[in-house]
Homo-oligomer: A and B are copies of this chain.
Amino acid sequence: MKKLKDIGEFGLINRIAEKEKVLDKEVILGIGDDAAVIKYKKGRYLLLTTDMLIEGVHFNKKATPFQIGWKALATNISDIAAMGGIPKYALVSLGLKKEISVKFVDEIYRGIRTLAKKFKVTILGGDTVSSPKIVVNIVLSGEVEKNYLTLRKGAQIGDKIYITGALGGSILGKHLSFIPRVKEARYLVKNLHPTSMIDISDGLLSDLKRICEASEVGAKIYQKKIPLSKEAVSLENALTAGEDFELLFTVSHHPPPYPSHQGRGKQQQLTPLPSREGKAGEGEVHITQIGEVAKKEILLLDEKGKRIRLTGNGFDHFRL
């Protein structure tokens, strides 16, 4: 009998998605992106996303309860950012051992609240149940102006591929304390109008594959252009390790109508993102062009234009 580890996480998601025929006219987008998109107020869509974190899978005993709470909300905020949206309301489900201290639970909530406050997210309730392992499930709603909604689908051949920040080594700590890229995503949708966007949760190559499949295109990625984080142990690690939570997006190759996009030519760019919406004094996050949208497959190319083959693709929950 076929088991989950035989079909893998992507196999399971495709299996589920195939059977969900969305007939509701209010639904703009169901399964298959970082968040679902529903009709809402005039000029805006409602976004809905959810993420489940489990002890021993998404965090281990070394993670502080503050970090567990922070991460649980941050992964959801990252999904809303990847749609170009603004996070709004959260519901928190906690599965907890009876023997756990009240202080531990307070700290999980302090982690959630600290980040919620930073992004003006309101916590509206949830569910608390007993569980042999700690489970945190957060659902987050968001809003996005109709003209700023950015999907995985939309990349066109010739578009430039960018990422925010640098990749790799997140497992050493960043995955528990990252700042979701809402500010950056909002700057992007207002100024660069990405043709597609996703947050890197399962690894660059895995998530690029999702953009390519949704957009029915391929991609060329230039190895030497990949910005490595200080913590990245290798290029392969930076390409396939999960939980960087940077944004991966494509920008049209057509002559740019946007002032902020002019005069760049074709050379590699390290473009500063002015922190227009952020506090003064906060660091700016760079974006880097790492390749172009191409036909069919995803190719990783070395300096001489030769294809580099990798064994792994990214994190898969059921194929470890």
| Given A22-B124, A124-B30, A135-B95: A36 and B89 interface contact (C-beta under 8 Å) | yes
**Residue A123 at the B interface, CB < 8 A?**
yes
Residues 11-37 of chain A: 1 if any B CB is under 8 Å from the residue's CB, otherwise 0? 011011001101110110011110110
**Residue A285 at the B interface, CB < 8 A?**
no
The reply to whether A320 and B12 form a contact with Cβ atoms under 8 Å apart is: no
Stretch at the interface among A1-9, A192-200, A260-268: A1-9
State the majority secondary structure of interface residues on A: mixed
Q: Which of B88, B93, B98, B137 contacts A320 (CB 8 A)?
A: B98
**Residue A311 at the B interface, CB < 8 A?**
no
Q: Which of B12, B22, B100, B113 contacts A3 (CB 8 A)?
A: B100
Q: Which of B1, B33, B52 contacts A129 (CB 8 A)?
A: B52
**Residue A269 at the B interface, CB < 8 A?**
no
A97 proximity list for chain B (CB < 8 A): 4
Scoring A13, A23, A48, A105 by chain B CB atoms within 10 A of each residue's CB, the highest score goes to A48
The reply to whether B130 and A98 form a contact with Cβ atoms under 8 Å apart is: no
A46 proximity list for chain B (CB < 8 A): 46
Stretch at the interface among A53-61, A146-154, A209-217: A53-61
The reply to whether A102 and B52 form a contact with Cβ atoms under 8 Å apart is: no
The reply to whether A58 and B129 form a contact with Cβ atoms under 8 Å apart is: yes
The residues of A with any CB-CB pair to B shorter than 8 Å are 1-7, 9, 12-13, 15-16, 19-20, 22-24, 26-27, 30-33, 35-36, 38, 40-41, 46, 48-54, 56-58, 88-89, 91, 93-103, 105-106, 109, 113, 122-133, 135, 137, 139, 141, 317-320
